[in-house]
Amino acid sequence: MVDAFRVHIMQTKELGTCPVRQIGGCSFFYMRISNVYIVIVVSSNANVACAFKFVVEAVSLFKSYFGGAFDEDAIRNNFVLIYELLDEIMDFGYPQNLSPEILKLYITQEGVRSPFSSKPADKSVPNATLQVTGAVGWRREGLVYKKNEVFLDIVESVNLLMSSKGVVLRCDVTGKVLMKCFLSGMPDLKLGLNDKIGLEKESELKSRPTKSGKTIELDDVTFHQCVNLTRFNSEKTVSFVPPDGEFELMKYRITEGVNLPFRVLPTIKELGRTRMEVNVKVKSVFGAKMFALGVVIKIPVPKQTAKTSFQVTSGRAKYNAAIDCLVWKIRKFPGQTEPTLSAEVELISTMAEKKSWTRPPIQMDFQVPMFTASGLRVRFLKVWEKSGYNTVEWVRYITKAGSYEIRF
C-alpha cells in the first residue's frame, strides 16, 4: 500500500487537487500537513467526510501532545506515543474519543516537544472514568469558578459577487457561534435565536402568535456534540451541557435576506492607450452609530501602469505594483457615510498590439463589530445549575468579509 501510494500519487507530476484516489481495488484518502502525508486506505465504500474529519481531529490531538508542532521530527520523536493514541482513538475502523482533555487524563505520557513550541504543557486531572464512559464525555465533574461567566460570539463571513451593472450574482453568509464558558458544576444552557423555525415552534407550544420582528431561515446547521439533538428536533431550542473553556457551538449558512454592509459604485474610464480615470464610491449601509474597522479596498489596474495620483475623502491610498492594484485603506469607517477615491493612472505605451484588459473584480476586506449580515440575534441565553448560582453573560457580533468582489 505504501509503495502504491508513493508511486501513483506522490511521484506523479499531475497530482491535481482531488484528495481521493482509487488504485486497484482500494481508495486512498490523503491530506498533506506541513511536510507529512496522512493517508487512510479503504477497500469498502467508506464515509469520506467522516474519514477526513477523523484526520483533522487526530492532527489537532497530536499537536496538543507535541506542543503545537506536527511535522516529520515530531512524528519521529513520538512514535510510541502515536501508537498508544491510535490505539485509543480508533477501534476496528470506528472513531472513538478524540478529545485531548479526556485522553490526557489517562495517557499521561508527555510528547517530546519541539524546541520551538511555545505552548505550555497542560496539567493532567485525575478521575477520567466517568468522562470516558459517561453521557457527558466532554465535561468533567467538580469544576468550580469564583465568577461564573459565559462569552458568546457570533462571527459571520459575507461572500458577495456583484456584476458591473449592480446585479448580485452570488451572495451568502457563513456563520459560527463561538462560546467560552467558565461555569461551575454541570450547568444546562438554553440558547434562543431569532430563527424562523424556533420562533414558530415556541408560539405553537405557548399557543400564542409570534411577535413581529425579523426572523431568518438558517440553512446547513451543524452542532457541537454537546447539543441535545432530540430536544432541538422537538422544541427547536439549542440546549446543551457546555464543555469547559472555548468551543464552537454551531455553524450555519444563510442565502436569503442578506444585509450587505457596503455598496461599491465604481466608474473606470479608459482615455486612449495611456491614461485611465478611476472613481470609486463606497457606501456603508449599516447604522450611523456603528463603524467598520480595517477596511481595505483593492482596485485592479493594468500591468503596464507607470504612474498614479490620488484624491481620497477618507483614509489613505497607494499603488501596489506587486499585485497590480490601487490599495485604499480606511482604519475606521462610520456607518451611513460615502467616502470616494478619484485616481488618474498613466500607462506605459507599448508598441505591441494592445490586448484588451480583462478587468478583475474589485475586492474588499473589512470587519464590522456589533453587526450581523444575516440579521441573526440572540434572544436569550439561560443558564440553569442545581446550586442556583448567578451568571454573567456576554454577547458579541462580528461580520467579516469572506470573498467580497465587485465587477466593473
Domain boundaries, the chain: 1-116, 149-258+374-403, 262-369
| CATH 3.60.15.10 corresponds to the domain 1-116 | no
- Give CA separation, 281 vs 160, 264, 284, 333, 338, in Å: 17, 6, 10, 13, 6
Positions of the chain with pLDDT lower than 70, given as ranges? 12-17, 111-135, 197-214, 351-355
User: What is the pLDDT, as a whole number, of residue 351?
Assistant: 62
| DSSP conformation class of 56 | H
User: What is the pLDDT, as a whole number, of residue 236?
Assistant: 76
| CATH 3.30.479.20 corresponds to the domain 149-258+374-403 | no
Q: In this structure, what is the dihedral angle of CA atoms 262, 267, 270, 275, given to the nearest 10 degrees?
A: -70
CB contact burial 122-133 (16+ within 10 A = b; e otherwise): eeeeeebeebee
9, 32 Cβ separation under 8 angstroms: no
- Report d(CA 303, CA 298) in Å as an integer: 14
Phi-psi region of 216 (alpha: psi -120 to 50; beta: other; left: phi over 0): beta
Which superfamily does 262-369 belong to?
Mu homology domain, subdomain B (2.60.40.1170)
Counted residue by residue, the chain has a size of 408
pTM to 2 decimal places: 0.73
Domain pair 1-116 / 262-369, same fold: no
150, 392 Cβ separation under 8 angstroms: yes
Alpha-carbon Rg for the chain in angstroms: 27
CB neighbours of residue 179 within 10 Å: 22
User: What is the pLDDT, as a whole number, of residue 126?
Assistant: 45
User: What is the pLDDT, as a whole number, of residue 123?
Assistant: 47
